[in-house]
Amino acid sequence: MLIRKAPDLRFSDITPKPLYLRRREFLQTAGGAALGAAAAAMAPPFAASANAQAKTAAHGAKLADVKKSPLSTTGEMLTSFDDITSYNNFYEYGYEKDDPKQNAWHLKPRPWTITVEGYAARKGTFGFDEFIKPFPLEERVYRMRCVEAWSMVIPWVGIPLKDVIASFQPTPQAKYVEFVTAFNPAQMPAQTTRILPWPYVEGLRMDEAMNPLAILAVGLYEETLPNQDGAPIRLVTPWKYGFKGGKSIVKIRLVDYQPKNTWQVMAPAEYGFYANVNPNVNHPRWRQDSERRIGEFFRRKTLMFNGYADQVASMYTGMDLKKNY
């Protein structure tokens, strides 16, 4: 038997470093086509995603001075950081659940500005740090129920929306709050397509925005918000379906009309303005009376207002929730 001594060569001697670092780039372009016409023809999206690299968003910076909130949901097991950051609906980065994790690294969440407009005394454009500085960072553990009938439990870090809105000193004409999110195709690749009308818009009635449960989240698991979860700042309204939580907010407008939220514009028969979690109002595609908690096998019953009825039901007294879905 002949046993050769390993040659004194290192990989860097064979392929120059800049070149091998571009290997993935090469695979994505030339390789995608060359990997076999048959395979590509059979499964174009699969072939494309097989080449895509899993760019894991690193953990964000630790947030200091986060205080626990009595408004946190107790007695629930938290969904893992990995699941919260790898299974997202964030169409700005693509419509597959893992697209945001793959593509969100393009986003530069700083510097960031938030513009306040409309019926308020204190308006203008604020830098992110200046915007959140006056408010205490609170940890709020909330259930998150997606309209697609899955759910998570997320330890958000955020600032109370009611304090933020109050600081704008809204005038009496302000009846609704409209949240406009980022439009930046260079950093949000799927915005070059027309899968949704951009930018993504959400809205709340003024009393909903002033409800103590509503927050603007800037982090989760005591770290700054990962890009795929809506960095640097997003809306969280735990008694509503997840799509109400507009991500990467750039503009907050105090208005006198009911804002046209994006999914309502897309499919008004399926998504309404209120989008309260309601097991009694079925969606044409998904049953809403049960849900699968991420990490669990059996479905569990969906609770009215996602279990937050005590804090929010009074806002909807007398309203026909079958019509105002």
Partner 1 sequence: MKPIVLLKRVIFAAALIPAGTLVVDAFRGKLTANPIDFITDTTGVWAIRLLITTLSITPLRRLTGWNPIIQLRRMLGLFAFFYATLHFLTWSVLDWFFDVRSMGEDVVKRPFITLGMATFLMLLSLAVTSTKASVRKLGKKWTQLHRLIYAASITALTHFWLVGKVTVTEVMYWAVVLTALLGFRVWWVVRHA
According to the binding rule CB under 8 A, does residue 322 interact with partner 1? Answer: no
* Count of residues near partner 1 by CB under 8 A: 30
According to the binding rule CB under 8 A, does residue 81 interact with partner 1? Answer: no
136 vs 295 by CB, closer to partner 1:
295
Q: State the nearest-atom distance from the C-beta of 147 to partner 1, in Å.
A: 9
- Pick the piece of the chain touching partner 1 (CB under 8 A) from 179-187, 217-225, 262-270, 303-311: 262-270
69 vs 79 by CB, closer to partner 1:
79
260 vs 292 by CB, closer to partner 1:
292
Position among 195, 197, 207, 300 found at the interface with partner 1 (CB under 8 A): 195
Task: Kindly write down the DSSP assignment for every residue of 160-202, as one continuous string.
Answer: EHHHHHHHT-B-TT--EEEEEE---TTTSGGGGS-SSPSSPEE
Q: State the nearest-atom distance from the C-beta of 220 to partner 1, in Å.
A: 15
Helix (H) or strand (E) holding 215: strand 215-220
**Pattern 111-140, binding to partner 1, x per CB under 8 A?**
------------------------------
How far is residue 276's CA from residue 288's CA, in Å, rounded to a whole number?
A: 11
According to the binding rule CB under 8 A, does residue 70 interact with partner 1? Answer: no
**Pattern 280-309, binding to partner 1, x per CB under 8 A?**
--x-xx-x--x-x-xx-xxx----------
Position among 69, 86, 102, 211 found at the interface with partner 1 (CB under 8 A): 86
Q: What is the DSSP letter of 120?
A: B
Give the SS3 label for residue 25. helix
According to the binding rule CB under 8 A, does residue 95 interact with partner 1? Answer: yes
According to the binding rule CB under 8 A, does residue 150 interact with partner 1? Answer: yes
Which residues are CB-neighbours of 293 under 8 A, at least 6 positions away? 79, 150, 151, 152, 153, 300
Residue 148 main-chain phi, psi, to 5 deg: -80, 10
**Pattern 35-64, binding to partner 1, x per CB under 8 A?**
-------xxxx-------------------
The label of the residue with tokens 């609906």 reads 89
7 vs 45 by CB, closer to partner 1:
45
How far is residue 213's CA from residue 287's CA, in Å, rounded to a whole number?
A: 26
Position among 30, 34, 166, 266 found at the interface with partner 1 (CB under 8 A): 266
Q: Identify the bridge partners of residue 286 per DSSP, sorted by sequence position.
A: none
Strands 150-160 and 290-293: parallel
The amino acid that residue 12 corresponds to is S
- Pick the piece of the chain touching partner 1 (CB under 8 A) from 10-18, 76-84, 163-171, 302-310: 76-84
Q: Identify the bridge partners of residue 138 per DSSP, sorted by sequence position.
A: 67, 158
Give the SS3 label for residue 240. strand
How far is residue 230's CA from residue 234's CA, in Å, rounded to a whole number?
A: 6
Structure tokens at 300: 């569990």
Burial class for 307, CB neighbours closer than 10 Å (0-12, 13-18, 19+):
middle
Q: Which of residues 97-116 bind partner 1 (CB under 8 A)?
A: 97-98
Q: Which of 142, 136, 121, 133 is nearest to 241 (CA)?
A: 142
Contact positions vs partner 1 (CB under 8 A): 42-45, 79, 82-83, 86-87, 91, 95, 97-98, 150, 195-196, 263, 266-267, 282, 284-285, 287, 290, 292, 294-295, 297-299
